Amino acid sequence: MTEYLKNIGERAVAASRSLNLLSDEDKNRGLVAAAKALVEKSGKITEANATDVANAERSGMSPALIDRLRLDDKRIKAMSEGLLQISELSSPLGEIVFETERPNGLKISQVRVPVGVIGIIYESRPNVTADAFGLCFKTGNAVVLRGGSDAINSNIAISDCIREALSECGICEDAIQLLGDTSRETAKEMMRLNGYIDVLIPRGGAGLIKTVVETSTLPVIETGTGNCHIYVDEYADIFKACKIVENAKTQRLGVCNACESLVVHSTVAETAVTEICKILFRHGVEVRGDERAREVLPEIKEASESDWGEEYLDKIISLKIVDSIDEAITHINKYNTKHSEAIITENPDNAEKFLNGIDAAAVYVNASTRFTDGFEFGFGAEIGISTQKLHARGPMGLRELTSTKYIIIGNGQIRG
């Protein structure tokens, strides 16, 4: 372990202990100050971001990923509003999960407490810097961040604003630390900071997540990629389906909750495929379908086996025709990433069957998958969207960033 990372780890542990002594009012004061600082210093942040965007364009980064990287006044304001919303949420710390009194008079309670130090490794999305800080800080956790090299200038500017705001409030600025070294070697060392970082959360593409899961000696909460499906059922309202697919696929391409795969029941394929593709083509989206889809519309390109499981993050979508809801559920469960899946139907029995049959963190009826987001769920922001089943699943808000401990109150009891 290098002295650089050991120093960061030691400071993070010290910061987490100081956060344990802060009241919820003090934390809210720090969040409000950080939110104001982001807006007041938005010029500094957008200037740094412009450098990152220019570098990304020179390196040939795709437009969808550049959009994910880009910051403007509106997005900075949204980051600020996220921190303000977090400050207004009730803290889960101290919440009693379970309590009992034993026959011998011992009073036992299980309460929510901070995890301690949370490490986050992420790519391309500088808003994660503010979101991660806000959620970790509210729950009394220090956070160590390692962003990607493509967003380093933006991340430094955001982190500096937050640290300055905390310092001015008399709060330990090491509640947030950002690694300035974005090398792979340093990232791998961070994955082995046992004794300093309590849990590691990767946010990014499949390659990053796979590397963290396979390399880390720390506990990892796996946030997954998003091959999200929309199934247009035989009982679908086609107008509703068109509107939802358009939003889910085209509103933002480079996000994990965008629709990447479309599944359509054969009895409505003629109308649904024609109307939905008409809209997608207007947005410049390439549709890759099976033979039956291409019989409906020759403009659809031939899909390969790899298309069914692909997270494109681009103007591409796959299209599969099925003969039953059971076939749709089987197809989706085979190729999905357990992120977000949706059914468009007016049949309540089919809606219920889909909700129960699909294995995913978020399952929708007649709504866009784009809502799988901490802000949209009322969490203020999210630390990531967990696609595993322990210890958290779906958008991770405040409660998912806590652990528990047992408090036992006695009056001289001894065990016989």
Residues 334-370 have pLDDT tens digits of 999 999 999 999 999 999 999 999 999 999 999 999 9
Task: Place 124 in a pLDDT band, splitting at 50, 70 and 90.
Answer: confident
Tell me the sheet residues that pair with 199.
118
List, in sequence order, the alpha helices (H) in 286-373. Answer: 291-296, 325-335, 348-357
Peptide bond into 391 cis (omega under 30): yes
The strand pairing partners of 363, in sequence order, are 341
> pTM of the predicted model, to two decimals?
0.84
pLDDT at residue 234 in the model: 98
pLDDT (0 to 100) of residue 283: 98
For the stretch 154-170, pLDDT in tens is: 999 999 999 999 999 99
**Per-chain mean pLDDT for the chain:** 95
DSSP letters spanning 23-68: -HHHHHHHHHHHHHHHHHTHHHHHHHHHHHHHHHHHTT--HHHHHH
Alpha-carbon gap, residue 301 to 319, rounded angstroms? 10
Going by pLDDT thresholds of 50, 70 and 90, the confidence category of residue 201 is very high
What is the b/e burial string over 362-392, where b = at least 16 CB atoms within 10 angstroms of the residue's CB? Answer: bbbbbebbbbbbbbeeebbbbbbbbbeeeeb
Domains of the chain from N-terminus onward: 3-223+396-409 (3.40.605.10), 228-371 (3.40.309.10)
pLDDT of residue 249: 98
pLDDT-based confidence at residue 1 (cuts at 50, 70, 90): low
In the sheet that 117-122 helps form, which strands lie side by side, from edge to edge?
176-178, 142-146, 117-122, 199-203
Query: Which residues pair with residue 111 across a beta bridge?
Result: 96, 405
Q: Which residue has the higher pLDDT, 390 or 23?
A: 23
| Comparison of pLDDT for 384 and 178, the residue scoring more | 178
The pLDDT value recorded for residue 374 is 81
At 206, the pLDDT band (50, 70, 90 cuts) reads confident
Inter-residue contact 70 to 51 (CB < 8 Å): no
Beta pairing, strands 107-114 & 96-101: antiparallel
Q: What pLDDT sits at residue 125?
A: 87
Which DSSP letter does residue 292 get?
H
- Judge whether residue 141 has pLDDT over 90: yes
Does the pLDDT at position 146 exceed 80? yes
Cα distance between residue 345 and residue 236, in whole Å: 4
Residue 380 has pLDDT above 80, yes or no: no
CA distance 50 to 269: 45
* Reported confidence tier of residue 389, pLDDT bands at 50, 70, 90: confident
> How many Cβ atoms sit within 10 Å of the Cβ of residue 267?
13
What is the Cα–Cα distance from 382 to 29, expressed in whole angstroms? 20
Comparing 125 with 157, the larger pLDDT belongs to 157
pLDDT of residue 123: 85
Lowest mean pLDDT among 139-143, 219-223, 337-341, 342-346: 219-223
